A and B are shown apart, each in its own frame.
Chain A
Amino acid sequence: MSETSSQRAPGSGFFDGLRAALKSIFFYVLLGHYSGIGALSYEFGFDPVWMVLCTLLIWAAPAQVIVISTLGTVTLIEVAVAVTLSSVRLLPMVAALLPMLQREGTRQRELVLPMHLTAISVWAEGMRLLPGVPKHERIGYYNGLGVGLLSAATLASAVGFYLAARLPPLFAAGLLFLTPMSLLMSSVRNTRTLVDGLAFGLGVVVGPVIAAQKIGLDLMWTGLIAGTAAYAVHRIREATT
């Protein structure tokens, strides 16, 4: 440990990270998105403790929406397959983050919390801000950032849950509509290529068509068919230009 190399108190990285979370645009994005998820859990009949655990332990909005909206209506295997496919994107994110956090002597167990805190919001802010943080403070800083954003999300989901039960139907409908709206926006806003936008467009159309066939695993089939089609279009365009 090289705390001696710094004049700052141990743990100051963590508090810097917390402050960065409060200043992040994602702080406000998560408030909206997660109050919608809280309302959704209320409408699907889950209890508040379950909902809070769902946010703390899964900490990936798309996976949470899948679990909340499908648990009890489709088989458990189908839920698990859909969650698995929706969360694959965490793997390359974690892999890209590791070199930023690791230094000589970093133990695997120090990385367990940062890995769990990794979600799109925390990761995007971490990749942007970590290069400006001293190497030995980075794990603390990233934990602070993650804890700050996860706390905001958990609080918002609790508020959404509470409000959904008490608001007039029109406002409750608006609260619930935050989920599809936020998922749409988070899917298309970071598109560097045409692929993601096209995949989303195809998925919206192909999804209900496949669901109507009642063959089961429709989320998985939609992902594979529409996603692969979008990727194929991208490859063909690259080959012809």
Chain B
Amino acid sequence: MEPYLALLLVGVLPSEVWRWLGLVLGGGLDEDSEIIMWVRAVATALIAAVVARIVLIPPGALASVPLGVRLAALGIGFLAFLLIRRSAFAGVLVGEAVLVAGALAFGG
């Protein structure tokens, strides 16, 4: 399919529809309700699968970095996030540093 049409039909529409529904339904939805908690867990697990997909079957230049290095960078980046005051910035920085250093050391 034409990529612009595909963008509208399977990208913009299925995302935007939830904003419209939120506007129509309005208040009365509790951020901490059980159903919302479940919905968020499903979305988070789905996004985790997307992350796994990019790390395991990487696009373009990332494919030249060995699999072990990619996995180590993700894991050590996460550890850094946990250890350094739960800072997302520290996590991204350490993950990136491990990726680059690992690629240099083990062939990239």
A-B pair count, CB < 8 Å, reads 305
Which residues of B40-79 are within 8 A (CB) of A? 40-56, 58-62, 64-65, 70, 73-74, 77-78
In the complex the two chains form, is B25's CB within 8 Å of A95's CB? yes
Which residues of A23-61 are within 8 A (CB) of B? 29, 32, 40, 42-44, 46, 50, 53-54, 57-60
Q: CB within 8 A of B25: which of A44, A91, A99, A218?
A: A91
Chain B: minimal CB distance from A29 (Å):
7
Q: A181-B77, A189-B88 are in contact. Are A94 and B50 (CB under 8 A)?
A: no
Q: Which residues of A contact B27 (CB under 8 A)?
A: 95-96, 98-99
Q: Does A140 contact B (CB under 8 A)?
A: no
Q: A57-B12, A83-B10, A207-B52 are in contact. Are A177 and B78 (CB under 8 A)?
A: no
In the complex the two chains form, is B7's CB within 8 Å of A176's CB? no
Q: In the assembly, what is the distance between CA of A204 and CA of B28, in Å?
A: 33
Q: In the assembly, what is the distance between CA of A128 and CA of B39, in Å?
A: 23
Q: Which residues of B contact A63 (CB under 8 A)?
A: 11, 14-15
Q: Does A105 contact B (CB under 8 A)?
A: no
Q: At the interface with chain B, which of A10-18, A74-82, A152-160?
A: A74-82
Q: Does A130 contact B (CB under 8 A)?
A: no
In the complex the two chains form, is B42's CB within 8 Å of A60's CB? no
Chain B interface size, under 10 / 10 to 19 / 20 to 34 / 35 or more = 35 or more
In terms of DSSP, what is the predominant structure of the interface of chain B? Answer: helix
Q: In the assembly, what is the distance between CA of A210 and CA of B45, in Å?
A: 12
Nearest residue, chain A, Cβ from B90: A185
Q: A69-B50, A173-B99 are in contact. Are A200 and B44 (CB under 8 A)?
A: yes
Q: In the assembly, what is the distance between CA of A92 and CA of B18, in Å?
A: 9
Chain B: minimal CB distance from A117 (Å):
9
Q: In the assembly, what is the distance between CA of A158 and CA of B108, in Å?
A: 25
In the complex the two chains form, is A29's CB within 8 Å of B15's CB? no
In the complex the two chains form, is A111's CB within 8 Å of B95's CB? no
Q: Which residues of B contact A40 (CB under 8 A)?
A: 59
Q: Which residues of B contact A90 (CB under 8 A)?
A: 15, 18-19, 22
Which residues of A159-205 are within 8 A (CB) of B? 164, 169-170, 172-189, 193, 195-196, 198-205
Q: Does B6 contact A (CB under 8 A)?
A: yes
Counting chain A CB atoms within 10 Å of each CB, the highest count among B45, B55, B92 belongs to B45
In the complex the two chains form, is A177's CB within 8 Å of B62's CB? yes
In the complex the two chains form, is B19's CB within 8 Å of A178's CB? no
Q: In the assembly, what is the distance between CA of A218 and CA of B18, in Å?
A: 22
Q: In the assembly, what is the distance between CA of A112 and CA of B14, in Å?
A: 17
Q: Which residues of A contact B89 (CB under 8 A)?
A: 29
Chain B: minimal CB distance from A86 (Å):
5
In the complex the two chains form, is B45's CB within 8 Å of A199's CB? yes
In the complex the two chains form, is A76's CB within 8 Å of B9's CB? yes
Q: In the assembly, what is the distance between CA of A220 and CA of B50, in Å?
A: 11
Q: CB within 8 A of B50: which of A50, A62, A115?
A: A62
Q: CB within 8 A of A227: which of B8, B26, B44, B58?
A: B44
In the complex the two chains form, is B41's CB within 8 Å of A80's CB? no
A to B CB contacts below 8 Å, 9 in the list: A90-B19, A96-B29, A170-B100, A177-B96, A183-B50, A185-B81, A189-B81, A199-B48, A220-B46
- CB-CB nearest 6 A-B residue pairs: A203-B48, A94-B22, A207-B49, A223-B46, A227-B42, A203-B45
